[in-house]
Amino acid sequence: MDFYSFAIQLLNGVQYGLLLFLVASGLTLIFGIMGIINLAHGSFYMLGAYMAFSLSSLTGSLLIAIVLGILLSVALGVFLEWALFSHLYKRDHLEQVLLTYGLILVFEELRSLIVGNDVHGVAIPDIFNWSIPLTATLSYPVYRLFMSAVCILLAVLLYLLIARTRLGMMIRAGASNREMVQSLGLNINLVYRLVFALGVALAAFAGMLAAPVSSVYPGMGTGVLIICFVIVVIGGIGSIWGALVAALLIGLADTFGKVLLPEAAGVIVYLLMAAILLWRPEGLFRRV
């Protein structure tokens, strides 16, 4: 593999990893703050992608579709938290797993009913629809660079939100002691609702962003969910840094794997996980 091909795969791997990190951070946020494992998180990614498809066909512009999509996901998140997830706070993991598994089934079938099971493509918005030339034959799509940039920006914003704002402080406080926060008069229910909506929006947005590149197909939700699980396990319990490192590792392993060993590509990520678990059962960055 020559230098430019390698560079292209490297950039692809990093872009994929950053996208995974976006989805995984939504998952970790919801689990870390609210203690809920949400198997349906991948479904939000899938819904985001299908929304990008439907809304951009409707409005003619992916960018408008994304804005609408974000609004819809926030609304969906608020509704779901109010209707279903608020029941799960005191329940054990098995019940959360089952309820969200049921939710996956519901989302998949609803999507099947409303939009069908076809694979769709989504057009890259014109502003980004060009490539930077690298050699006579190779070039790199600007849209992918845009994706990476957006993911990095969001990651930074998330960090600022959690670490530097009053809302972030309330979120972190609520994570450690729900009752205490409530007795201080802060509306913990509102905080949880917002956090959940944020998590949903992150996953959906990632799906919308990825749609032009990965296309829109039925199994994309669970595919990304399970990879997110691997990220969380490899990255280490409770560590955002770990999730970032793990996401990039996986993005690179998967991308190079598909190119170098196509038959084993699906398995590589899990072998990586197995190797890391063997070496460090608590994940790469264990938070003491």
Partner 1 sequence: MKRKTLALLAALTMLALFPLAGATFYTELVTKVMILAIFALSLDLLVGYTGLVSFGHAAYYGIGAYVLGLMAPKYEAANLWLTLPAAIVLAGLAALAVGTLVVRVKGIYFIMVTLAFAQMFYFVFHDTKFGRGSDGISMNFKPVAAIGDFTPFDLANAAHVYYFVFAAMLAVFVFLRLLLRSAFGRALQGIRSNEQRMRSLGFPVYRYKLASFAIAGALAGLAGYLSALQFGFINPELLSWHQSGNVLLMLILGGLGSLYGAVVGAFAFVALQELFSSVTTHWQLLLGGTIILLVIFLPGGLASVMNRFERTLIGESGDE
Q: Which residues bind partner 1 (CB under 8 A)?
A: 31, 37, 84, 87, 90-95, 97-99, 101-106, 108-110, 112-113, 222, 226, 229-230, 232-233, 237, 263-267, 270-271, 273-274, 277-278, 281
Give the integer Cα–Cα distance in Å for 85 and 83.
Answer: 7
**CB 109 → partner 1: shortest distance, Å?**
4
| Residue from 248, 179, 259 nearest 5 by CA | 259
The partner residues of 100 in beta bridges, in order of sequence, read: none
Contact 262, 33 (CB under 8 A): no
**CB 90 → partner 1: shortest distance, Å?**
8
| Residue from 268, 208, 174, 171 nearest 70 by CA | 208
**CB 257 → partner 1: shortest distance, Å?**
11
**CB 256 → partner 1: shortest distance, Å?**
16
Q: Which is nearer to partner 1, 42 or 141 (CB)?
A: 42
Q: Which helix (H) or strand (E) holds 132?
A: strand 131-133
Q: Which is nearer to partner 1, 50 or 143 (CB)?
A: 50
Give the integer Cα–Cα distance in Å for 278 and 274.
Answer: 6
Q: Which is nearer to partner 1, 89 or 128 (CB)?
A: 89
Give the integer Cα–Cα distance in Å for 16 and 42.
Answer: 15
Contact 63, 264 (CB under 8 A): no
**CB 157 → partner 1: shortest distance, Å?**
26
Pairing status of strand 139-141 against strand 131-133: antiparallel
Q: Which is nearer to partner 1, 36 or 55 (CB)?
A: 36
Q: Which is nearer to partner 1, 45 or 143 (CB)?
A: 45
